[in-house]
A and B are shown apart, each in its own frame.
Chain A
Amino acid sequence: AQSVTQPDIHITVSEGASLELRCNYSYGATPYLFWYVQSPGQGLQLLLKYFSGDTLVQGIKGFEAEFKRSQSSFNLRKPSVHWSDAAEYFCAVGSSGNTGKLIFGQGTTLQVKP
């Protein structure tokens, strides 16, 4: 069965420090992978997505993610975190079939220290 695991429930980093949020997926074929961000009280906003091609994907707000098939991972990175990056981050994989459904991880809450 398809699944997504985000091993870190909560991460705290200092402003200006680098960030890496982990995502591991289980999927039989080439996955469609997404990272969404949710600010408090808001809906989800797409940060970036991977469908095929270059395994290093650039997104909005200075985020990037690298698809590693051998490790079944799609980790999100940012070289220098800003206080406004404090939010909840969700990794998702597109399910098989023609439904467009997404399977989400449990989410990682990012706290940024001044």
Chain B
Amino acid sequence: NAGVTQTPKFRVLKTGQSMTLLCAQDMNHEYMYWYRQDPGMGLRLIHYSVGEGTTAKGEVPDGYNVSRLKKQNFLLGLESAAPSQTSVYFCASNRGRQETQYFGPGTRLLVL
């Protein structure tokens, strides 16, 4: 039981490049989330999903897209990376409302 895993762990991009971050969970959780963490700002929700095939915007969705084609996977895409997207990205999942969110180890992204 690996829990929540994230791929890659670290990535450097040039401005304008695109990439996809992969989150996978093996706990059969319905709900999945993407956060970004920046110094002094805590974690801010980018997008989330309450079930396979559904996605919704969070607090800071601009510049990102997501897809949830399979229940266990939640992909975060950056179509045209900007330096402002330099951050640490965390994926999390849970069984539903009121339930504990379980976090992945994070992806550190640097956009030059």
Binding site for B on A (CB under 8 A): 4, 9, 32, 34, 36, 41-46, 49, 51, 90, 94, 97-102, 104-107
A73 to B72 CA separation, bound complex (whole angstroms): 35
* Partner-binding segment picked from B12-20, B35-43, B63-71, B77-85: B35-43
Contact size range, B: 20 to 34
Binding site for A on B (CB under 8 A): 4, 31, 33, 35, 40-45, 48, 50, 56, 58, 90, 92, 94, 96-106
Question: Which residue of chain B has the shortest Cβ distance to A51 in the bound complex?
Answer: B98
Q: Which residues of B contact A101 (CB under 8 A)?
A: 33, 45, 48, 58
A4 to B106 CA separation, bound complex (whole angstroms): 22
- Residue contacts A-B, CB under 8 angstroms, 16 given: A9-B40, A41-B106, A43-B103, A46-B100, A46-B102, A90-B42, A94-B97, A94-B98, A97-B97, A98-B50, A99-B50, A100-B33, A100-B97, A100-B101, A104-B42, A105-B42
